[in-house]
């Protein structure tokens, strides 16, 4: 799994927003041009008289339109398909950010912030129970011993938790 730094991720999101905003002004013209570029039946024979049909009942020159690939149709399909995929992915991103980030204050986006209650819990690294009092509480999901150990390391949190669990297991095996 490739890790991206927080500033890099924020920069990527800002770039996506800027590109989408820039495209918005040209999207209407793009759709009109793509639809107008679609080939269709010839509308005139060029002679000014009634159109002639071949033995199959097709107007003259129709084979010219049916035998060539249509780049406008392919581009229009790609635009629609990519937009649908981007909407789905943006929905997933929004869900992740709202679930793990600060809840929205907007009444339309889910109401008010939930109040945090001080309660006990288990440390995510060593599973030690903390009662939730002012001197025995979890900090970032860690008991005080694990929290202080994590502050002294330069490892990322997930790597540190795995290393911490391994170290605690070897200490328990040595004692036993």
pLDDT band (50, 70, 90) for residue 37? confident
Where are the domains positioned within the chain?
A: 8-39+59-100, 121-175
pLDDT at 99: 75
**Is residue 84 over pLDDT 70?**
yes
pLDDT tens digit sequence for 9-23: 888 888 888 888 888
CB contact burial 100-130 (16+ within 10 A = b; e otherwise):
eeeeeeeeeeeeeeeeeeeeeeebbbbebeb
Residue with the larger pLDDT of the pair 141 and 105: 141
Determine which of 30-39, 44-53, 90-99, 142-151 has the lowest per-residue pLDDT on average: 44-53
Report the length, in residues, of the chain. 176
Q: Are 103 and 110 in contact (CB under 8 A)?
A: yes
Query: What are the two backbone dihedrals, phi and then psi, of residue 27, each rounded to the nearest 5 degrees?
Result: -65, -40
pLDDT at 81: 92
Rounded Cα gap, residues 124 and 164, in angstroms: 10
pTM: 0.43
Q: Are 113 and 151 in contact (CB under 8 A)?
A: no
């Amino acid at each position: 799994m490739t890790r991206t730094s927080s500033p890099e991720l924020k920069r990527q999101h800002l770039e996506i927003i800027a590109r989408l905003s820039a495209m918005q002004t040209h999207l209407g013209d793009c759709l009109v041009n793509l639809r107008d570029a679609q080939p269709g039946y010839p509308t005139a024979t060029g002679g000014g008289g009634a159109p002639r049909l071949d033995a199959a009942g097709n107007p003259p020159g129709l084979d010219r339109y049916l035998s060539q690939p249509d780049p406008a149709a392919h581009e229009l399909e790609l635009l629609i398909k990519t937009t649908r995929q981007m909407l789905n992915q943006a929905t997933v991103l929004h869900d992740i950010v709202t679930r793990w980030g600060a809840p929205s204050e907007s009444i339309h986006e889910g109401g008010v912030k939930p109040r945090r209650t001080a309660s006990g819990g288990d440390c995510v690294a060593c599973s030690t129970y903390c009662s939730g009092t002012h001197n025995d509480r979890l900090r970032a999901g860690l008991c005080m011993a694990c929290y202080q150990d994590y502050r002294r390391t330069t490892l990322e949190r997930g790597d540190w938790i795995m290393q911490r669990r391994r170290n605690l297991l070897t200490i328990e095996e040595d004692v036993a």
